[in-house]
Structure 1
Amino acid sequence: MANYHVSKDNEKQQWRIKKEGATKVSGYADTQKEAEKIAKELSVNSGGGEVRIHGLDGKIRDSDTVKPGNDPRSSKDTKH
């Protein structure tokens, strides 16, 4: 399982996809939506996990469990 973070790279003016704990960036995308999609695909390929979406302020604004990852919350996701 692998968790990924999506955040804005202000120098490149793109959205960065980075595996949690990694030193290198996994990829970049022009839009946050595209970066989120890529991060979810990468997470699926590594056995699931969490994709955490950061706002422009750097704070996590949303988190999505990618199957077969274990959702820490038992409530249903109403955003995705």
Structure 2
Amino acid sequence: MNGKNQHVVPHVNGWAVKGAGNQRATEVFSTQTDAIRSARQIAQNQGSEMLVHGKNGQIREKSSYGSDPFPPKG
């Protein structure tokens, strides 16, 4: 993976998209749905992961858009 993982996190003005390790939000949205849409696009472009946090801060969803070194068997 070459890009930063994208996190959708609660923000004072709604929901923010943040690159892993970044202090500042990349973008802020009024709805979590819009933030997820943006984070997914960035993660797909960068070949990284998108992690969606709930209002309590816990990760509730994770999607990978990179080359997974351990792809699921099936």
Q: Give me the TM-score of the superposition, normalised by structure 2.
A: 0.81
Q: Stretches of 4+ moved more than 6 A in 1?
A: none
Partners of 1:26 and 1:20 lie apart in 2 by 11
Task: Please give the root-mean-square deviation of Cα atoms over the aligned residues, in Å.
Answer: 1.8
* Compared CA separation, residues 15 and 48, structure 1 to 2 (3 A): same
Residue in 2 that maps onto 1:59: 58
* Compared CA separation, residues 73 and 7, structure 1 to 2 (3 A): farther
What fraction of aligned residue pairs are identical, expressed as a percent?
28
Q: What SS class does the counterpart of residue 57 from structure 2 fall into?
A: coil
Unmatched segments (≥5 aa) in structure 2: none
Unmatched segments (≥5 aa) in structure 1: none
* Compared CA separation, residues 75 and 20, structure 1 to 2 (3 A): farther
Partners of 1:70 and 1:30 lie apart in 2 by 31
Q: Give me the TM-score of the superposition, normalised by structure 1.
A: 0.76
Residues paired across the two proteins, number: 71
For each residue in 1:29-65, what CA deviation from the matched residue of structure 2 results, as whole angstroms up to 9, or x when unmatched?
A: 11111101101111223x2111000011100011011
Q: How many Å apart are 1:2 and its aligned residue?
A: 2.0
Residue in 1 that maps onto 2:44: 44
